Amino acid sequence: MISLHPKQVRTRLTFWYVLVLAGVLCIFVAGASIVLVWQMRSQIDRQVVQDLETVEGLFYFSGDGILHFNDDYHNHPESKAVQERLLEVLSPDGEILFKNDLLGSRTIGGAPFQGEGVAGYSQRSERMADGTRVILASRVHTMQDRPVLLRVAFSEEPIWTRLKQMLVIFFFAMPLALAAAAYGGYKMAGRVLDPISVMTERARQITSERLAERLPVENGDDELGRLAEVFNGMLARIEISFDQLRRFTSDASHELRTPLAAIRSVGEVGLQKKATEEEYRDMIGSMLEEVNRLTSLVESLLTLSRADAGQLKLQVSVFPVMELMRDAVNLLEVLIEEKKLTFTLTGDDALLVRGDRLFLRQAVINVIHNAVKFTPAGGAIAISVSRDGDSKAVLSVTDSGPGIPAEHSTMVFDRFYRADPARSGENKGSGLGLSIARWAVQANGGGIGFSNPPGGGCTFWIRLPLALEAPAH
Amino acid sequence: MNILIVEDEDKVANAVRRGLEPEGYSVAVARTGEEGFFLVSNQNYDLLILDVMLPGRDGVEILTAVRKRDLTVPVLFLTSKDAVEDRVRGLDAGADDYLVKPFAFSELLARVRALTRRSHRTESVSSLKLADLEMDVTGHFVRRQDRELVLTAREFDLLEYLLRHQGRIVSREMLARDVWKENERHTPLDNVIDVHIARLRRKVDEPFQLKLLHTIRGVGFVLRADPS
């Protein structure tokens, strides 16, 4: 039993294909039948009239008033027109004067109706008493001053016989044609859908462990080729984010494990031997320090993951960049003073930027804090704000620290990157500051980067979109 | 003062109770929302500490039911950082304050103090004193042993805050929020706080025999005359 909704596209395609073809064939057969019937009928019509014309001249009355038919006239008595003709002659009052042999005891049209055959041919289709449908033509003919009504008829039988023959041929030929079409269609659909099966099979094998696999592209120009290319593009993106996620997860678990290990060992060692209250306080304090580290790490991770998920909503406003810089510098001033750094902040107070002020403030704070951290005591930090082209403001923070080694340049903004891994313990940084800064700047339509100027040190820059109109109040 | 803690995590509930009892509060603990609701409807409490994540009915549902009964007991609810929605729902449902887990105990203590005090308002003190340290808040003037201490504006705010919380531990979170008015604690800010504390100590303690400003390792800072 063929279901109307087979599972395979291939079967479904073939099914519909055959169904449509069958429909088309049926319409064709119906049309052909109509044309056939119409054509044969008009042929018989002509034949009837023509024959009536011929027959008219062949009747004569003999002296005793009996109507005779001159049969010898025909050169070809075997012609169908002669053999199948039904012929009848009536007097105006309906008396039958002549019938041919084929007609026998039947009559063609019964009593003549009023005006039959008077003005031209009276042509019609009629059913005889025995059920035979005929096409007949009648005409009044004046023969030796006596009017007679001549009727010639031909059976419609040949039309229906021919039609039946045609239908029988179709009846047997159509399943054959449909079977051929189904076979061809199935093969064709199979050929077209083959790449999909291959893609399906290949896609099934692609798992998170084997994201490097790609779907085969047979022809990049057709629809399936494009589909495969789109899939491959998607796979490439997934692979990249999977890699990032994997690295991030392993880094994060490492970062979390470090304080956990510290808490555990401090606790275990503390319980091993009796200690003074002072020592116990110290141990608990040390454990709490690690807990704080864990807490702030988890919070930073949460912020970043919310940022990644697009859950952090930006509160965009327009404000002067210098205000933002002064605000950040104001907070960090004590750290700069403490290290006795030479510090300058220069820039154009008129420059307005558009963005989320809180996030951008955090980004600027993290970048400046980074510079302060890596500049040795007595060094210098210079911050400048300037216009970059028509649409950007560029903030640069230059320090006189050791600079960033070229081989680290791609990792600086990565999560958990630290310039000096050995220092991570005492230096409390989470390794997330610059990565958070990068997120904040990029989310606000800006860019962030750094360069090592020739004179030594390091310059971090942040590019932000300028707001061209005045801030709305 | 009677406090009811509705918290399903035994360790947290017991730690909070053990921390609050020495401060003079009598503390009851409910493990489920239903139990908490039953207790709060039948007994008089001065404060309800409500965890949002509870088995069965969650904290916000309990809070809504409590407020529906016209119970005006102050409510402090505990939530986790990743659920911003909870915070909004809790405050909408009629909570007076919230605290994000994991919280510093000193922070909880400060909130509890503020909430239980709310009914009988504290008068704003214009003069603060600890041992030989005196601060005139309105006159912006600090003196120790008849010697004037010259403080920056930030150092003054910091010392005022410590003086107002004298004898109690103040965490970095509290300083970040209340003195620096930062909505989030972050590494640069921690460093800034540490530097300010160091500078304040230099001015307030260094020249004197009796040390007042103490660092409690891993917890925060405390201003007190008693060295322990």
**Do B11 and B102 lie in a common domain?**
yes
Q: Quick count: other Cβ atoms within 10 Å of Cβ A362? A: 23
Q: Which of B53, B84, B117 is the last residue of a domain?
A: B117
B194 and B110 within one domain: no
What pLDDT tens digit does each residue of chain B (228 aa) get? 889 999 988 888 899 999 999 888 999 999 888 888 888 888 888 899 998 888 778 888 888 888 888 888 899 988 875 666 777 888 888 888 888 888 888 889 888 988 887 554 555 678 888 888 989 888 888 999 888 989 999 999 999 999 988 888 898 888 998 899 887 778 888 889 999 999 999 999 988 888 999 998 888 999 998 765
3-state SS class at A187: helix
CB count, 10 Å around CB of A223? 9
Statement to judge: residues B8 and B95 lie in one domain: yes
Where along chain A do its domains lie?
Answer: 1-56+156-205, 223-308, 316-465
Give chain A's end-to-end CA distance (angstroms, integer). Answer: 75
- Any domain includes B16: yes
- Please tell me the total number of residues recorded for chain A in this structure: 473
Range of the domain at B162: 127-223
Contact A370, A332 (CB under 8 A): no
CATH number at residue B180: 1.10.10.10
Q: Is B46 inside any structural domain?
A: yes
Judge: B82–A282 Cβ closer than 8 Å, yes or no: no
Whether residues B173 and B209 fall in one domain: yes
Q: Please name the residue of chain B whose CA is at the shortest distance from the CA of residue A364.
A: B188
What is the number of domains present in chain B? 2
Pairing of strands B2-6, B47-51: parallel
CB contact under 8 A, A365 and B217: no
Q: Which of B117, B143, B170 is the last residue of a domain?
A: B117
* Contact in structure between A387 and A351 (CB atoms under 8 Å): yes
Q: Do residues B93 and B187 lie in contact, with contact meaning Cβ atoms separated by under 8 Å?
A: no
Q: What is the DSSP string of chain B?
A: -EEEEE-S-HHHHHHHHHHHGGGT-EEEEESSHHHHHHHHHHS--SEEEEESS-SSS-HHHHHHHHHHTT----EEEEEETT-HHHHHHHHHTT-SEEEEES--HHHHHHHHHHHHHTTSPPPPPSEEEETTEEEETTTTEEEETTEE----HHHHHHHHHHHHTTTS-EEHHHHHHHTS--SS--HHHHHHHHHHHHHHHHHHTTTSSS--EEEETTTEEEE-SS--
CATH of residue B41: 3.40.50.2300
Nearest CB to A285: which of B180, B183, B216? B216
B71 in any annotated domain: yes
Task: Verify that B18 and B68 share a domain, yes or no.
Answer: yes
Q: What one-character-per-residue DSSP string does B118-141 give?
A: TTSPPPPPSEEEETTEEEETTTTE
Contacts of B216 in chain A (CB under 8 A): 285
Q: Which residue on chain B is closest to A430 by alpha carbon?
A: B187
Q: Are B218 and A292 within 8 A, CB to CB?
A: yes
The answer to the question of residue B21 being in a domain is yes
| CB atoms A285 and B190 under 8 Å | no
Contact check, Cβ <8 Å, B216/A292: no
Determine whether the interchain pair A334/B81 forms a contact, defined as Cβ–Cβ distance below 8 Å: no
A316-465: what fold? Heat Shock Protein 90 (3.30.565)
* Residues B148 and B105 both lie in one domain: no
Rounded Cα gap, residues A107 and A86, in angstroms: 9
Tell whether B11 is covered by a domain: yes
Q: Does the distance separating the beta carbons of A296 and B187 come in below 8 Å?
A: yes
CATH topology of domain A223-308: Helix Hairpins (1.10.287)
Over its length of 473 residues, how does chain A's per-residue pLDDT go in tens digits? Answer: 444 555 678 888 888 889 999 999 999 999 999 999 999 999 988 888 888 888 888 888 887 878 888 777 766 667 776 778 888 888 888 788 888 888 877 888 777 787 787 777 888 888 887 888 888 888 888 887 888 888 888 888 888 899 999 999 989 998 999 999 999 988 988 888 888 888 888 888 887 777 788 877 777 788 888 888 888 898 888 888 888 788 778 888 888 888 899 899 999 988 888 889 888 988 998 999 888 888 888 888 887 787 777 777 888 999 999 999 999 999 999 999 999 999 999 998 888 999 999 899 999 999 999 999 889 999 999 999 998 888 899 999 999 888 888 777 778 888 777 766 554 444 456 778 888 899 899 999 999 998 888 878 889 999 999 987 655 55
CB contact under 8 A, B188 and A285: no
**Do B7 and B110 fall into the same domain?**
yes
Q: Of the residues B68, B98, B117, which one is the last residue of a structural domain?
A: B117
Can you name the residues that pair with A153 across neighbouring β-strands?
A: A86, A136
Within this chain, do residues B110 and B8 fall inside the same structural domain, yes or no?
Answer: yes
The answer to whether position B87 is within a domain reads yes
pTM of the model: 0.63
Nearest neighbour of A285 by CB, restricted to B172, B184, B217: B217
Q: Which residues on chain B are in Cβ contact (under 8 Å) with A431?
A: none
For residue B62, is it within any domain? yes
CB pairs under 8 A between A and B: 67
Residue of B nearest to A301 (CA): B82
Q: Chain B: residue nearest A366 by CA? A: B188
Residue B57 sits in the same domain as residue B163 = no
Residue B228: exposed, middle, or buried by beta-carbon count in 10 A (0-12, 13-18, 19+)?
A: exposed
CA distances from A32 to A29, A162, A177, A205, B50 (A): 5, 12, 17, 55, 87
A281 neighbourhood in chain B, CB within 8 Å:
217
Same domain, B147 and B111: no
Residues of A in contact with B191 (CB under 8 A): 335, 369, 428
Residue B165 and residue B158 in contact, taking contact as beta carbons nearer than 8 Å: no
